[in-house]
Structure formats: C-alpha cells, structure tokens
C-alpha cells in the first residue's frame, strides 16, 4: 500500500510563534521551540517529524507564509 | 525515507509565493491580515496579473500593505479607498483595482465612499477585514463591534441603547444595484482559507467582466485588541462573530 510521508521547513526568522500552525496540524507534528529567534519569538518546528503527512494545513493557516511543505508517496 | 530526503524541490507541495515580499509583515503574531495578504498574493500570482493589478491601502493596521505584496499600490486617506480606487479604475479601466479596508475604515469614516462606490457599481473589488474593532489605534469600539463586546472605549461591553447596534454593512451593500458579488468568508481554518481564496479570485474575474462591485468581507480576528491568544481568538470568532456575521454568499449575480 502506498504511504504518504511529508516534511515541512519553517522560516524560523520570519515565524512569530503564533501557534496557529501547531493547532491546525492534524498529526501533532509541530510545536513551538524553547529557543527564541532574533525577534524573540518561540518559532515553530517539527517535534514529531515522522508523523507529518504533508497535508499543508499548517502552511494554509500561517499568517506569515513561513512554511514550505514537501510530500512523497512511498511504496512498500 | 528521512526528513532530509523528503525536503527536495521535486517533492514540493506548498511554498510562499514570490509576490509576497521578503519584508517581514508588521502585524501582531496570528493576525488575520497576514493570511489575507498571502491569499491576495497567491491569487494575483496564479492569475498572472501582477503587472495589471493596483491595490489601494487603507488607514488602519493594513496601512503598510504596499510593502508586502509586489504590485502597484496607492495609499488612501482614512476611509477614502473606494473613492481613490474609483479614480484609478476610471483612468485605467483595463487594470484590476481593489481596495483593502478594515471595519473602522470601511464602515465608520468611509461609509459614504463605500456605499456610493458600490451604488455606482464601480468595477473594483473591496476586501473588507471585519475584526469588530479599531486594531491600529488601540482596540476602540467600531460600528461592527458586537453587542456586549468589551473594547477600550466600551469597557463594560457595547450597550446598544448608548452605542447603537452592530452595523451589518455587508448586508446593506448586497442590497445595492451596483454590487454583483457580496460574500462573507473567514481564514481561521483550511476550509475557510480555501473558500476565501476562491472568493478573491472571483472578485478579480468580476472586475474583468465589468459586472460591478465585488465585496469580500473576511470575518477576522484582532487578537491584540481582543486580548486573547491567536488560537483563542479564532474560537471566540467562531462562537461570537459568526452568529452576527454569518459566512457565505449574500449576493452572486
Ligand atoms: C482622518 C483620520 N481619522 C482618524 C484616524 C485614526 N485612525 C487610524 S486607524 C483607525 C481605525 C482603524 O481600524 P480599522 O479600519 O478597523 O482597521 P484595523 O486597524 O482594525 O485593521 C483610526 C480611527 C486617522 N488616521 N485619520
Ligand atoms: S504538512 Fe500537515 S501533517 Fe505536516 S506539519 Fe503541516 S499540518 Fe502537520
Ligand atoms: S503559523 Fe506561521 S508564524 Fe505562526 S507559529 Fe506557525 S510558522 Fe510561525
Ligand atoms: S492590532 Fe489587531 S488587527 Fe492590528 S495587527 Fe495586531 S492583531 Fe492585527
């Protein structure tokens, strides 16, 4: 069966740590970092990268267009 | 397959459009304005109309919109965006002209300009960000503020006996002969973002078809003014704003 696997890249300097992507993700992939970016925001990152399905829900709701999404179909 | 292997241009499904500039937007974290800017930039990019589109920016939090979307812009005095857009559209009728306005701008100081541009049926699109408050100036009550809603100038909640009723201006605009498409959308979740994007595209298409004025209200959050987190603001909006300002098309001819 084909399995979908995704990955996201967050522009951590553009991110404002608003948390909306974290809430929107259906697979609990994202979290806000403990570290701060140059503007002092706790940026979003993939805490559980293996769970990402590349659905781009996070990217759709991000007000600052910080998220790039990738997706592959794996055959096994 | 590892994450690093998946992150490869061949597997790309979504990225920021180049029409949205690299200038960081000044909006508060989680503000709806950012999502709407992103959708406008995506639609203009996908329609290939970057060179033919002119935006008119308001006074309000979106006053610097011209820094963020790489098209031609004019900044208007508070509330006057539909009048300025009328002038631009009449001089340059082949351009796609839109205004971008908050509820203070559109439904308070700019009520006359808004109603008359719509009544004349100018072939423009009006993007109306209704967050129920004056965001930029510190969260004062707007005409759209809900009954009982606390703002910095209605600390005990809007009292309709004293302050009048929330102004459903979009409904009024739908009554005017000059409007061809009047819709109310939101950008708080994936389905909402998708629908709002389609509505914006339709607004541009209507301008091209010279059908009249398209009004696209986006029921929005102002988490700073509402004094809630961005996620809690979305929930508050669904619970309190949507009953007063129900989503969907009010007019589509
Ligand atoms: C002629 C004039 N009157 C008043 C102001 C002050 N002022 C600036 S922004 C604003 C209201 C903004 O609210 P809104 O249009 O709802 O936009 P938001 O900031 O919420 O996006 C006001 C009253 C002004 N700049 N010019
Ligand atoms: S692409 Fe989908 S699954 Fe992956 S982080 Fe974003 S919302 Fe979560
Ligand atoms: S939605 Fe965007 S700005 Fe907000 S935390 Fe996620 S990546 Fe950062
Ligand atoms: S004050 Fe409100 S409308 Fe203005 S940028 Fe902040 S959240 Fe957005």
Q: Are the CB atoms for B242 and B166 separated by under 8 Å?
A: no
Residue A2: per-residue pLDDT = 76
- Which of B102, B113, B129 to probe ligand 1 with, by most ligand atoms within 8 A of CB? B102
* Predicted confidence (pLDDT) per residue in B104-147, tens digit: 999 999 999 999 999 999 999 999 999 999 999 999 999 999 99
Contacts of B34 in chain A (CB under 8 A): 62-65
Q: What is the pTM of this model?
A: 0.98
What is the Cα–Cα distance from B91 to B88, expressed in whole angstroms? 5
Mean predicted lDDT score pLDDT of chain B? 98
Please state whether B6 falls in left (phi above 0), alpha (psi between -120 and 50) or beta: alpha
* Predicted confidence (pLDDT) per residue in B172-193, tens digit: 999 999 999 999 999 999 999 9
* Closest CA in chain A for residue B33: A63
Q: Examine the pLDDT at B235 and tell me if it is beyond 80.
A: yes
Contacts of B16 in chain A (CB under 8 A): 11, 65-66, 68
Nearest listed ligand to the Cα of residue B75: 1
Q: Are the CB atoms for A57 and A10 separated by under 8 Å?
A: no
Type and span of the H or E element at A59: helix A57-61
A51 touches B at CB < 8 Å: no
What is the Cα–Cα distance from B97 to A47, expressed in whole angstroms? 43
Domains and CATH numbers, chain B: 25-252 (3.40.50.970)
Residue B1: per-residue pLDDT = 86
Contact: A19, B30; criterion CB under 8 Å: yes
Q: Are the CB atoms for B245 and B217 separated by under 8 Å?
A: yes
* Closest CA in chain A for residue B233: A20
3-state secondary structure of B52: helix
Contacts of B38 in chain A (CB under 8 A): 62-63, 65
- The residues near B50 (Cβ < 8 Å, ≥ 6 apart) are B19, B44, B70, B71
Atom of ligand 1 nearest to the CA of B61: 19
Contact: A65, B16; criterion CB under 8 Å: yes
CB atoms within 10 A of CB B253: 9
What is the Cα–Cα distance from B223 to B2, expressed in whole angstroms? 37
Pairing assessment for the beta strands B125-130 and B96-102 based on DSSP bridges: parallel
| For residues B234-239, average pLDDT | 98
- Which of A22, A26, A28, A29 to probe ligand 2 with, by most ligand atoms within 8 A of CB? A29
B126, two tokens: 């009006």
- Provide the shortest C-alpha distance from residue B60 to chain A (in Å): 18
Mean predicted lDDT score pLDDT of chain A? 96
Atom of ligand 1 nearest to the CA of B144: 16
B141, two tokens: 């009550």
Residue B195: per-residue pLDDT = 98
Domain locations in chain A? Answer: 3-74
Picking from B3, B192, B232 by the largest number of A CB atoms within 10 A of its own CB, the best residue to mutate is B3
Q: Exposed, middle or buried, A37 (CB in 10 Å: 0-12/13-18/19+)?
A: middle
Contacts of B65 in chain A (CB under 8 A): none
B151, two tokens: 């703002």
Q: Are the CB atoms for B34 and B9 separated by under 8 Å?
A: no
CB B27 less than 6 A from any atom of ligand 4: yes
Number of CB pairs < 8 Å for A and B?
Answer: 94
Q: Are the CB atoms for B233 and B200 separated by under 8 Å?
A: no
3-state secondary structure of A40: coil
* Closest CA in chain A for residue B36: A63
Q: Are the CB atoms for B143 and B108 separated by under 8 Å?
A: yes
- Provide the shortest C-alpha distance from residue B160 to chain A (in Å): 33
Contact: B193, A41; criterion CB under 8 Å: no
CA nearest A70: which of B5, B190, B38? Answer: B5
- Provide the shortest C-alpha distance from residue B119 to chain A (in Å): 33
Q: Examine the pLDDT at A18 and tell me if it is beyond 90.
A: yes
Q: Are the CB atoms for B75 and B84 separated by under 8 Å?
A: no
Q: Examine the pLDDT at A1 and tell me if it is beyond 70.
A: no
Q: What are the helix (H) ranges across chain B?
A: 3-6, 32-47, 81-91, 103-104, 111-120, 160-163, 169-175, 190-208, 223-226, 230-236, 242-244
Q: Are the CB atoms for B53 and B96 separated by under 8 Å?
A: yes
Q: Are the CB atoms for B89 and B63 separated by under 8 Å?
A: no
Q: Are the CB atoms for A57 and A29 separated by under 8 Å?
A: no
Radius of gyration of chain A measured on its C-alpha atoms: 13
In the CATH hierarchy, which fold is given to the domain comprising A3-74? Alpha-Beta Plaits (3.30.70)
């Amino acid at each position: 069966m084909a399995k979908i696997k995704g990955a996201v890249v967050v522009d951590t300097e553009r991110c404002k740590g608003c948390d909306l992507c974290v809430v929107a993700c259906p697979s609990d992939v994202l979290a806000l970092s403990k570290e701060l970016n140059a503007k002092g925001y706790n940026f979003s990152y993939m805490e559980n990268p293996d769970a990402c399905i590349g659905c781009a829900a996070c990217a759709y709701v991000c007000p600052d267009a910080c998220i790039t999404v990738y997706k592959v179909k794996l055959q096994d | 397959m590892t994450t690093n292997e998946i992150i490869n241009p061949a597997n790309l499904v979504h990225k920021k459009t180049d029409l949205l500039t690299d200038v960081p937007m000044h909006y508060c974290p989680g503000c709806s304005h950012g999502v709407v800017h992103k959708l406008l930039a995506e639609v203009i990019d996908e329609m290939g109309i970057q060179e033919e589109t002119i935006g008119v920016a308001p006074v309000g939090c979106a006053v610097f919109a011209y820094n963020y979307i790489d098209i031609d812009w004019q900044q208007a005095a508070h509330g006057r965006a539909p009048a300025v857009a009328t002038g631009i559209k009449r001089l340059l009728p082949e351009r796609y002209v839109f205004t971008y306005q908050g509820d203070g701008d559109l439904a308070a100081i700019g009520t006359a300009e808004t109603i008359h541009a719509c009544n004349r049926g100018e072939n423009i699109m009006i993007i109306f960000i209704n967050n129920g408050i004056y965001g930029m100036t510190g969260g004062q009550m707007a005409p759209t503020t809900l009954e009982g809603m606390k703002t910095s100038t209605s600390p005990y909640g809007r009292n309709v006996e004293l302050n009048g009723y929330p102004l459903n201006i979009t409904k009024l605009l739908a009554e005017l002969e000059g409007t061809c498409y009047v819709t109310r959308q939101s950008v708080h979740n994936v389905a909402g973002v998708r629908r709002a994007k389609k509505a914006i595209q339709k607004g541009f298409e209507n301008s091209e078809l010279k059908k009249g004025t398209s009004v696209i209200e986006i029921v929005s959050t102002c988490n700073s003014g509402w004094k809630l987190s961005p996620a809690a603001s979305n929930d508050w909006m669904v619970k309190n704003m949507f009953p007063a300002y129900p989503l969907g098309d009010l007019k589509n001819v």
